[in-house]
Structure formats: C-alpha cells, structure tokens
Amino acid sequence: MFKGGLFSEIIDALSKHVLRTVLTGFMVAWGIYMLIMLLGLGKALRNGMSDNFKDDAINSIWIRAGKTSVPYHGYKTGRRIRMTNSDYEEINRDFEGVEFVTARHTRWRVLINRGPKGGTYSLRGVHPDHRYLEKTLVREGRFLNDSDIREKRKVIVIGLPVKAELFGTSNCIGEYVEVSGVAFKVVGVFEDEGDQGEERITYVPITAAQMVFSGADNIDRLMFTVGDMPLEESTQLAGRVRQYMADKHHFNPDDERAMRVRNNSEEFARVNHVLDMIEGYCWMIGILTLIAGIVGVSNIMLVVVSERTKELGIRKALGASPGSILKLIIAEAVIVTGFFGYLGLYLGIETLAALQTVMTEPPLLHPSVNLNTAIQATAILVISGTMAGLVPAIRAARVRPIVALREE
C-alpha cells in the first residue's frame, strides 16, 4: 500500500513519540474491543434466554387449571377447576388453527423397576402429538401412537438415562418393566432437546395412565401448537380458548389463578423485544466508544501537525508537493487505526473464545460475534480514522514554507 521509503519514514516518526502513539492506538483498540465484547455478551444473553425455550415448541399454547380466586355466578372462591378428556377433544375438534395437540396426566415419583434394578421416576400420560410439544427425539423403537391411546395399551417410552439404569447396554425394546407393580412394555427410547432432567421422565398413553392410576378421565395440562400462525392471531386464539374454558368450567375469564393460558409465541416475542433493545444499547455504547477513539485520533493528528510545522515547511521548501504532505499525514492515521483496530479485533475475538469455555449455562451462554460484522466494524473504524486524519492533513498541506520556518 505504501512505498518503502514512505512507510519507513512514518514508522520513524511514530517511534519518536512512542507513548503518544501507544495512547492513541489504545483508544482505537479499546473502542473496537469494547464493541466486540458488547456484541458478544449480548449474543450470549440472547442464547441464554433462547435456551429457556429450547425444551418446548415456541409456537405452542399451554393450558393449566388451578383454583378460582374470585366468586363467579354463584360459584365460591377456591374451587378447583378440573379439565377432562372432553376438553382435549373439543380443542382438537372445534378450534381452527390448532396443529398438534396433547393432554397430560402426570404422576410424580412413580416406582419403575426391572427385576432388582429400579428407581423413582416421573410418569406422564400423553397423546402421540406430545413429542412435538416437548421436542422429544426417538432414538430407539417408536413413540406412542393412536392405537395405544384407543386400546389403552400398557406401553411405555423411556429416556436414555432410564434405559441405562434399568437395562444397561442391553436391548430394551419389547421388554417389560413394572410401573407401580403393573407391567408395561417398552416400545421406545428418547432423548430431549432441552433440559436433560426431561429424559428421566417416562411416557405412557394417557388413557392407560388414567385407567391404572386414577380411574377417571382428569387431565392436568392441555397443550397445542399453532403452526406458522402470526403472533397476533395466536394471541386471539389463546383468548378464545380461555373464554371457551371459562364458559364451560364456570369461572371468571380474567381469573388468572383459575386457569393459566400461556402463549409461548407471545412470551418469546416479548423476550426477543427486550433482547433487541439490549443489543441496540450495546451497539450504541460500542459506536460511541469508537467515535471517542476516532476523535482522539483526529486530535492527536492535529498535535502532530502542529509539532511538525517546521519540518513540513522545510519539506515544501525543498520541493515537496502538497499531495505528498497530505499522503504522509493520512498514511500515519491509516497505520495507527489499522494496526490497533486489528489488535482490538483480535483481542476481542480471543476473549470471547475463552469465555465460551466458561459461559456454558444460562443466563449467559456461548458468547460469540459475527465475524463479518466484526471485520466491517474494524473497516469502518479504519476509514473513519483516515477521515479523522484528513483535516489535519489538509492543514499540513497548506503550510507556507516561509511561515513554517519561522516556527519555534
């Protein structure tokens, strides 16, 4: 980019003022380093918050019944709302836009054993679509199917840790385990995209769970996905479902304690909005830091021109053109901003790489920065630093030899 003589001359000029050069470069390096770190940590925060949604389908609506907290049409406060299989059937049948739907009948701390080996696990009675709500990945055999539900089959799907504890490395498909003394046939093994604790949960047909454990058709949770439905429409659907359930079970639609209807799409959008604001704030702070560095470069270059006025006058007296003077000053700005900008970029990326081995759990998870964004920011910094050196360069090019030679 620069001729050998010009480059050597610039290096010689900078080396005569090492402290000033280093301080100027530090401002540039610190600006790009802070921008990289802020963007990387902002990404880590986004990853950590998104991880909270990894276990469940984002486009899902979850319904959980509770107790009424206000009286309603003659019904007293404190009445427990109980959902049943009919709620599942009506949601599945009567509401347009519902994609995958499942009910859940949960039993906590159920003894499951195979001969002398056994343990206490959570058991969920569910429908086949449950695998899409919980992002369940079948690794061996199969998941539950409609025939299992219809015929109330005593079949069970277990997680990888449960298989290891009950069967070791042996094949488990087609084998039987005892669930609270009742024999269930293992038809599948799964793993979960989210929390590994989910893999210690076992799944059976909801009809079998209701028959074996309660003898009733009660369900404790109802969930469904809405496909690619826009957020506004999914919010309206959640409202309609809530009103329907309130009319059917006789509670105030505004009573959050009676029934909670959670729209994951709405919550995810709300979290993303907050994260976008944080990311914008990080950009603002980083850019302001860069601007401070650029202003520092401009000020330092003005000082350089002032100190070298006599030298520049002698150059012009010996025949140096204004263009050569302009090139000299701008080249100094380019070298300082380019070198220290790259240094800040390198240190920022290396710091984030080191933090990746530490930040492996939410709320800050796997910090990183888009390399193209980082390079573009550095390029903008170099260009801006060059522009910052333009004003003092023009001032230097306009120095009159006779005036410069009079400078002390």
pLDDT for the residue numbered 203: 97
pLDDT surpassing 70 at residue 171: yes
Q: For residues 80 and 83, give the distance between their C-alpha atoms in angstroms, rounded to a whole number.
A: 10
Sorted by sequence, the CB contacts under 8 Å of residue 278 that are 6+ apart come out as: 42, 45
Residue 29 — very low, low, confident or very high, per pLDDT cuts 50/70/90? confident
Instruction: Determine the structural domain holding residue 240 and report its residue range.
Output: 67-97+226-257
Beta-ladder partners of 126: 104, 205
Average pLDDT, the chain: 85
Six-digit token string for 343: 């240094």
pLDDT for the residue numbered 196: 63
pLDDT tens digit sequence for 65-94: 999 999 998 899 999 999 999 999 999 999
pLDDT surpassing 90 at residue 140: yes
pLDDT tens digit sequence for 368-403: 888 887 788 778 777 777 777 677 667 666 766 665
Q: For residues 112 and 119, give the distance between their C-alpha atoms in angstroms, rounded to a whole number.
A: 6
- Residue predicted with more confidence, 303 or 349: 349
In a domain, 262, yes or no: no
Of 25, 30, 18, 4, nearest to 385 (Cα)?
25
166 backbone dihedrals φ, ψ, rounded to 5°: -95, -30
Six-digit token string for 328: 């000299």
In this structure, is the dihedral angle defined by the CA atoms of residues 65, 66, 67 and 71, taken in order, positive or negative?
negative
**Range with the poorest average pLDDT among 108-112, 240-244, 308-312:** 308-312
Q: For residues 187 and 204, give the distance between their C-alpha atoms in angstroms, rounded to a whole number.
A: 10
Residues 39 and 144 in one domain: no
pLDDT for the residue numbered 1: 47
- Residue predicted with more confidence, 3 or 143: 143
Residues 273 and 221 in one domain: no
Q: What percent of the chain has pLDDT over 90?
A: 45
pLDDT for the residue numbered 279: 85
The number of distinct structural domains making up the chain is: 3
Residues 306 and 389 in one domain: yes
- Would strands 117-126 and 101-114 be described as parallel, antiparallel, or unpaired? antiparallel
Residues 31 and 171 in one domain: no
pLDDT for the residue numbered 54: 67
Residues 45 and 144 in one domain: no
Q: For residues 272 and 293, give the distance between their C-alpha atoms in angstroms, rounded to a whole number.
A: 31
Residues 28 and 93 in one domain: no
In a domain, 61, yes or no: no
In a domain, 353, yes or no: yes
Residues 85 and 208 in one domain: no
In a domain, 264, yes or no: no
- Residue predicted with more confidence, 315 or 376: 376
In a domain, 231, yes or no: yes
Residues 108 and 125 in one domain: yes
Q: For residues 363 and 248, give the distance between their C-alpha atoms in angstroms, rounded to a whole number.
A: 40
109: helix, strand or coil = strand
In a domain, 298, yes or no: yes
Distance of CA 316 to the CA centre of its chain: 58
Sorted by sequence, the CB contacts under 8 Å of residue 37 that are 6+ apart come out as: 348, 351, 352
**Range with the poorest average pLDDT among 180-194, 252-266, 340-354, 390-404:** 390-404
Between the two ends of the chain, the Cα-to-Cα distance in Å is: 34
Residues 90 and 109 in one domain: no
Sorted by sequence, the CB contacts under 8 Å of residue 403 that are 6+ apart come out as: 313
Residues 76 and 104 in one domain: no
Determine the average pLDDT of the residues in 306-318: 69
Q: For residues 46 and 19, give the distance between their C-alpha atoms in angstroms, rounded to a whole number.
A: 40
Residues 214 and 113 in one domain: yes
Residues 218 and 76 in one domain: no
Number of H helices, E strands in the chain: 14, 14
pLDDT surpassing 80 at residue 9: no
